[in-house]
Structure 1
Amino acid sequence: MPERPTLVCAGNVTLDVAVAPDGRRTTAVGGDAVFASLAARLAGGEPQILAPLGNDVPDAVADVVRLAGTPPEDLPARDLPTVLDVVRYRADGSRTWELVHGERHFEEMSPGPADVTPAMLAADGVLLSGMALAAQLALSSWLRPRTSATVYLDPQEDYVPGNERALLEAVAACDVFLPSEVEALALARVDDVEDAIRCFLEVVPVVVVKRAEHGCLVATRRGRTPVVVPAERVVPTDSTGAGDAFCGAFAVEHLRSGDPVAAARAASAVARVAVSGVGVDALADAVRSMESEVAR
């Protein structure tokens, strides 16, 4: 297994406005592909972002994309504005997302099969993050017959209702399924997370259910009883990209070791870093520190 796995992080590059329960607003570079790629670097992988860039890319976005492992000029270009999200947090920890430019724009700013290069098909792994539904479904079905890469699927809870059948087909086209607990219950249409895991193991070999501060559950077809991997405790500053960071780090360690429980532990440690700053700031600082150590 590769010591420094190559991983394609497919998703979006965004600007995120986080609104706290008390109304405080913070704008930061975001996007699932960016969080995942920074986390993958921190976990010792060699990631590449697959996400379109708009026609108004701020320098801060370009700098973070480069730090995450991909020259901005290598990304697909769209003659559209950058994706802008408003994430509103409630006191109970739940949140809602608003796509300022709308769903159609988000779909056009999500990657598709035409954006995939031959080098990406040769990568050790591909992580399909929670992009637009049509794009995620198209990539999951298109990739399977064209690559021997391990494919990881991280869905998005907003589009689960009404699309269960299509999403289960996407799950079946992948090797590792990484839903949140909310997504798992909604997709399986059950009330118990272990029932949901059993459902998914019928179509995918490895299931990892993310449970925020409660850690995650890891199950495989060989060991169907879920293993509880606790979260690393921290008072979060911004949890927007925690799940994306978890998935990026998980994929790298899983590709390296083949051990999903070890991968979940490594991912939990990286997710802890992700939530300790605003947007991608904490991950970016950690990657810069890592680069400085290597350069010494």
Structure 2
Amino acid sequence: MSESPTLVCVGNLTVDETVSPAGERVESVGGDALFAALAARVAGGRPLLLAPLGTDAPPALLAAIRSTGTDPRSLPARDIPLIRNVIHYDETGGRVWDLVRGEEHFEALSVVPSDVPPQALTANGVLLSAMALRPQLDVAAWLRPRTAATIFFDPQEDYVIGHEAALGDAVAACDVFLPSEIEAAALAGTSDLDAAAAIFLELGPRVVVIKRAEAGCLVATREHPEPVVVPAETVTPVDSTGAGDAFCGAFAVEYLRSGDAVGAARVAAAIARLAVSGPGVSALLAAVDAYGGVPG
């Protein structure tokens, strides 16, 4: 595999306002596709960001998209405003998300099969980040027979309950499944994460990575189905938004490069720690700027 694997980062673009327990409000640009693509750049990959762009994209978002190596003019356009979130943090670090313009608007700004450009099908990998359920499932099913790319699938906890069968089909169609601990337990129907990993491997992926935030992650593969615990260094995050997305983007690049799932998880954990050290995508942008240019 190339030292700079190509990775299509599929998902959403957003403007996020975080509210601290003291009421301090900070607005920043984000979205799972942006966090993943920037982390992929930091990991040394060549990402192609794929997410619909609304009518009111601020200059900071356009600049961040360019920092991933993607021209904003190449993105699918929607004649509606961007997704906006308000995220309230509590004293324990917990978060409550408010999707300002609602679920239908969120779905309209998710990627559908007709948005996928031909060059995406020849990439080394495709990361499907958590969009609205139906578009994510549709893109997953559409991609599988059309590309030899390694497909990485990252679900969203809000839609797991009640859609287990459909999500099971998506897990079966991917090569690497990257749920959070909450998503894994809900989808597998057990809080035993070792058992959950075994259930997912039986469905078809080569690799399962269960993300556990500050507790690190579990990595299981077909070759080594006994899960390996990869710890995460405990840090006090400035803003934990996008940490999981950054983990997935970095993991995908390193896994494509090395084929070592445990090693990729260690690289991803380090870049996720970097991502939470500043508001929004600021820390990842600073890291990309420090490297300069497109990775060689």
Query: Where on the TM-score scale, by shorter chain, does this alignment land: which range?
Result: over 0.9
Which residue of structure 2 lines up, in the alignment, with residue 278 of structure 1?
A: 279
1:24 equivalent in structure 2: 24
Q: Give yes or no for the alignment of 1:225 onto 2:226.
A: yes
Helix, strand or coil at the partner of 1:277 = coil
Give the aligned partner of residue 155 of structure 2: 155
**Aligned amino acid, residue 241 of structure 1:** G
Unaligned runs of 5+ in 1: none
Distance in 1 of aligned mates of 2:171 and 2:129: 12
State the 1:158 CA deviation. 0.6
Q: What's the secondary structure of 2:64's corresponding residue?
A: helix
Structural mapping, 1:46-85, within 5 Å: 46-85=46-85
Q: 4+ runs of 1 displaced by more than 4 Å?
A: 292-295
- Structure 1 3/27 Cα, relative in aligned 2: closer, same or farther at 3 Å? same
Whichever residue aligns with residue 288 of structure 1, its letter is D
In structure 2, the residue matched to 1:248 is: 249
For 1:287, the equivalent position in structure 2 comes to 288
Name the SS of the counterpart of 1:196 in structure 2. helix
Q: Which letter maps to 1:281? A: S
Question: 1:161, CA displacement in angstroms?
Answer: 1.0
**Cα shift at 1:198:** 1.1
Structure 2 residue matching 1:182: 3-state secondary structure:
helix
User: How far apart, in 2, do the equivalents of 1:130 and 1:253 lie?
Assistant: 20
Q: Determine whether 1:133 maps to 2:133.
A: yes
- Structure 1 residue 232 displacement after superposition: 2.6
The one-letter code of the counterpart of 1:4 is S
- Change in Cα spacing, 1:134 to 1:294, as seen in structure 2 (3 Å) is closer
| 1:188-203 → structure 2 map (5 Å cutoff) | 188-203=188-203
Separation in 1, partners of 2:174, 2:217: 19
Secondary structure of 1:145's counterpart equals helix
CA displacement at 1:294 relative to structure 2: 8.1
Q: Which residue identity lines up with residue 262 of structure 2 in the other structure?
A: V
Q: AA paired with 1:140?
A: A
1:292, distance to aligned residue in structure 2 (A): 7.3
CA–CA distance in 2 between the matches of 1:74 and 1:293? 17
Tell me by how many angstroms 1:92 deviates.
3.1
Equivalent residue number for residue 206 of structure 1: 207
User: 1:164, 1:20 → 2: CA distance?
Assistant: 34
Which residue identity lines up with residue 189 of structure 1 in the other structure? Answer: G
Indicate the larger mover: 220-229 or 272-281: 220-229
SS for the counterpart of 2:37 is: helix
The 10-residue stretch of structure 1 (146-155 or 92-101) with the greater mean CA deviation from structure 2: 92-101
- Whole-angstrom CA distance in 1 between matches of 2:18 and 2:211: 21
**Aligned CA distance change for structure 1 residues 285 and 192 (closer, same or farther; 3 Å):** same
C-alpha distance in structure 2 between counterparts of 1:171 and 1:177, whole Å? 6
TM-score if structure 1 supplies the norm length? Answer: 0.97
Q: Structure 2: which amino acid aligns with 1:176?
A: V
The question of 1:235 aligning with 2:242 is answered no
Distance 2:148 2:110 in 1: 23
Residue by residue, what CA displacement relative to the aligned partner does 1:227-266 show, whole Å, maximum 9, x if unpaired? 1111133221000010000000000000000010010011
Distance 1:293 1:114 in 2: 27
Change in 2 beyond 3 A, CA 1:294/1:243: closer
SS at match of 1:27: strand
C-alpha change, 1:96 and 1:293, in structure 2 (3 Å) is same
With the length of structure 2 as denominator, give the TM-score of the two structures: 0.97
Q: CA RMSD in A?
A: 1.4
Report the Cα offset of residue 93 of structure 1.
2.9
Residues 1:294 and 1:52: Cα distance change in structure 2 (over 3 Å): closer
Q: Encode CA deviations 1:73-116: one digit per residue, 9 max, x unaligned.
A: 01000000011011222333332222111111110100110001
- Distance in 1, matches of 2:224 and 2:152, equals 19
2:110 partner SS: coil
> How many residues are paired up?
295
The residue matched to 1:53 in structure 2 has which SS? coil
Give the 3 Å change call, closer, same or farther, for CA 7–96 of structure 1 in structure 2.
Answer: same
1:87 corresponds to: 87
- Kept in 1: contact 2:18–2:26 (CA 8 A): yes
